[in-house]
Structure 1
Amino acid sequence: MMMSSNPFHRINISLVILPSLFLTAYYLFASFPRSPIPPIIHTSLARLPSSSPSWNIYPENFYNGGAYVNLPLGRARILVRYWLIGPESGRRVVLIHGLSIPAIVWKDVAPVLASRGYRVLLYDLYGRGYSDAPQVTYDTTLFTTQLALLMQHVKWDNAFIVGLSMGGGIAAAFSAHFPHLVNGKVAFVASAGIMESSDISRTAKFMSSPLVQTVTALPPFQHYMRRLANASKPAEFQEVNPIQEILRLQSAHLPHYNAAVASSLRDGPIRGLHFAFQELACTSNQVLIIHGTADDTVLYKFASKIRDLVPQADLVTISDGGHDITITHAPDVSAALLRFLADNYSYKPAQPSLA
């Protein structure tokens, strides 16, 4: 087939192509990105009606000295709940809770530290308890920045840092990101931070997948979860487990709680923090590891792995202790922390690993 030699045909094609090329080049070189859109902010337990069981189980005044602060996140402000207990002149300690249970998990440890003269800062992580839930990726930087901003708000130049479970990962990353805010002591209780994908159950991976989270965020599913939670309230004669109950209430009634937990599992300080522990080993900080031998969430083997990364760490093993050792073995955890935080603490060789 012969090509057309008609010059008008070539001109017509040029009239079509040249303007398109000009408009494309103009867009590429002259366009400017839109202003960033603030993240959607989802509500916390504070927005539930006063008739909600959460106000009896975990009221916002669960600890004395509670307050709210608006922390900046891009163009948004996130409402965060925190508490300061113990004498104002006491040495400062931050307690960081874990993946799913807010600061109530320290209920049998924090008051003991306060009664022994420490000034204790507790707070709810973003998306848990009485802290709002921004619709963002719940990565390590989000959590370490939250603590740095909170310490700035309460005018703390530094503090001892204690982290439980995922809070241990936050504590390790915080000591790497903001070493000047750490006052020489870091403690890890049943600490995550260096788990591998293979250590997370298939069920947890499935439930935390973006597809499942998209489905569970739909209003019909949320309504179903609330009805299911209300229908499964413990009978009056049954003793209520506050930890299990607050977990159930958050999952059923907080619109972004499940997504926040899922994102923390996928993107947060559960895994990949070997570098943070290695950096901690290169500092003069004293380090304590407390872990139970019966922990089936963060296996006891991770205590020895963290100790391998931080050779100066002192390991306290709690025989038959599970993942909830701040509840089931609170006296043991409190005693270990008090010994560690004392001025006369000195390193002793870690106990042999049972892993």
Structure 2
Amino acid sequence: MNGLSSNLKSLGLLGAGFAVGLLAKELYPRASDAIIPSPRETQLPYLSPSEQARLPYPPDALPGARDIPSPYGSLRVYEWGPKHGRRVLMVHGISTPSIALAAIAHALVRCGCRVLLFDLPGRGYSSTPSPTVHAQTSEFFIATIFFVLASSSLSWTGPNSFSILGYSLGGGIAVNFASCFPSLISSVILLAPSGLIRPYHFGWQSKLLHSARLLPDWAVEQLVYWKLSSSSGQDQRQSGTVIEDELPLTEQCGDEPARGSKFDIPMALEWQVQRHKGFVKSNISSLRHAPISGQHHQWIRMTNALSNRDTKANQQAITSHARQGATMLIMCGENDPVIIAKELETDSRELLGGSKNLLFVITPGAGHDFPITHSKEVVDTITKFWGHQSHQIEARS
């Protein structure tokens, strides 16, 4: 009995020591843990060019690729299109990298736009700081955007410099950015944006894993890893692929042929889960700290900031296309199980106070991935929206 008691006591001390060690690692991460590298550093050096080309997300997937240093690690950025075209910054969602917006980006370039995309920290080919060092808050993402803007050889920071397009989590990020820096924004385009998800849509499992923090981080990471591995291999197989050479062109964009390429988005998600050491950590940190829900005050702040800026612009009789007043376009899929279209429309219209600058469009028969599956409809709506805005400005002149 004494031996058994001694063994149990030893096991107890070992367990306590293990727990203390985990806690210490959480509270005081080593310097080497501060930046978690992306597959650009951990996988690509060991692959031949042909093997890289066969990846679900090849490193040359989009034109104008560059990797920029930042305090948050290396960030993957893409920029291409006419230098003097309308500038569009595009922010993707919580899980899929920037190739989720590839079809829209290529179509907008054919419409004469200059596009700028980047992989959010911890996604695709972007590194990420450990969440114990930098949580993925709105401020974190806003700072990341400025690192990306500053990396361009063109100026993206003058008055009404660019339109910001955000998809899913990227929509929530776009709202917060526009609310803080309205003078930079010429228009806000939100595709199934986060930020206003009603609380009752979060079940006890989500609250346990991402809000209450009743479980140690390593346990949460393992559970989320299993969940993402399962969803990327099964449920998300129902999502479409991005096939740019089959993307019809809009009437406004001429007849230039699209760049032929094909991306399997579910496979890209699975690749991230398996190959990006910071992906699961980033996913969890975003769910805990990013603008997912409860962002009503930011939407109001954005509306007021843009309205005040537009009023000043009208008083100065600004009529040039380059300095037009900011407008907002919100699109959502009719069958989106994540962002409920009718709820979003009701809540956004209430918060925006019936703003004349708001256009809300519901895409029939579409789900949360409608920017991928219905990219033609998205581009058609965006270009017509911009055309209507320009027409209004010319009428005022």
TM-score, structure 2 normalization: 0.68
Deviation digits for residues 61-106 of structure 1, max 9, x if unmatched?
A: 1111110111225xxxx10001112111111001110111110111
Residue pair 1:193, 1:273 contacting (<8 A) in 2 also: yes
Cα distance, 1:56 vs structure 2? 2.5
Describe the SS at the equivalent of 1:95: strand
Of the candidates 283, 291, 296, which is equivalent to residue 261 of structure 1? 283
* Seq. identity, %: 27
Residue 321, structure 1, aligned to residue 366, structure 2: yes
Cα distance, 1:216 vs structure 2? 5.9
Deviation digits for residues 227-252 of structure 1, max 9, x if unmatched?
A: 999x99xxxxxx99711111112112
Distance 2:140 2:125 in 1: 17
| Change beyond 3 A, Cα 1:286–1:241 | closer
**1:307 partner amino acid:** R
Distance 1:192 1:120 in 2: 22
How many residue pairs get aligned? The number is 299
| Change beyond 3 A, Cα 1:102–1:61 | same
Cα distance, 1:298 vs structure 2? 1.3
State the structure with more CA Rg.
Answer: 1
| Change beyond 3 A, Cα 1:217–1:54 | farther
Query: Unaligned stretches of 5+ in structure 1?
Result: 1-33, 233-238, 348-355
**1:249 partner amino acid:** W
Query: Unaligned stretches of 5+ in structure 2?
Result: 1-27, 235-240, 242-261, 311-325
Greater shift, 118-127 or 42-51, is seen at 42-51
Cα distance, 1:262 vs structure 2? 1.1
Cα distance, 1:299 vs structure 2? 1.2
Residue pair 2:188, 2:329 contacting (<8 A) in 1 also: yes
**1:303 partner amino acid:** E
Give 2:348's aligned residue. 306
Distance 2:362 2:59 in 1: 33
Give 1:5's aligned residue. none
Deviation digits for residues 116-143 of structure 1, max 9, x if unmatched?
A: 1000001001111111021121111101
Distance 1:339 1:201 in 2: 39
Residue 105, structure 1, aligned to residue 104, structure 2: no
- The structure carrying a bigger helix percent of its residues is 2
Give 2:36's aligned residue. 42
Quote the RMSD (CA, aligned, Å).
3.2
Distance 1:104 1:190 in 2: 17
**1:329 partner amino acid:** H
Give 2:328's aligned residue. 287
Cα distance, 1:257 vs structure 2? 0.9
Distance 1:227 1:296 in 2: 20
Deviation digits for residues 171-226 of structure 1, max 9, x if unmatched?
A: 000011222321x21011011112244322444444446536413657xx98x999
Distance 1:40 1:325 in 2: 36
Give 1:191's aligned residue. 193
Distance 1:169 1:248 in 2: 24
Give 1:164's aligned residue. 167
TM-score, structure 1 normalization: 0.75
Describe the SS at the equivalent of 1:57: coil
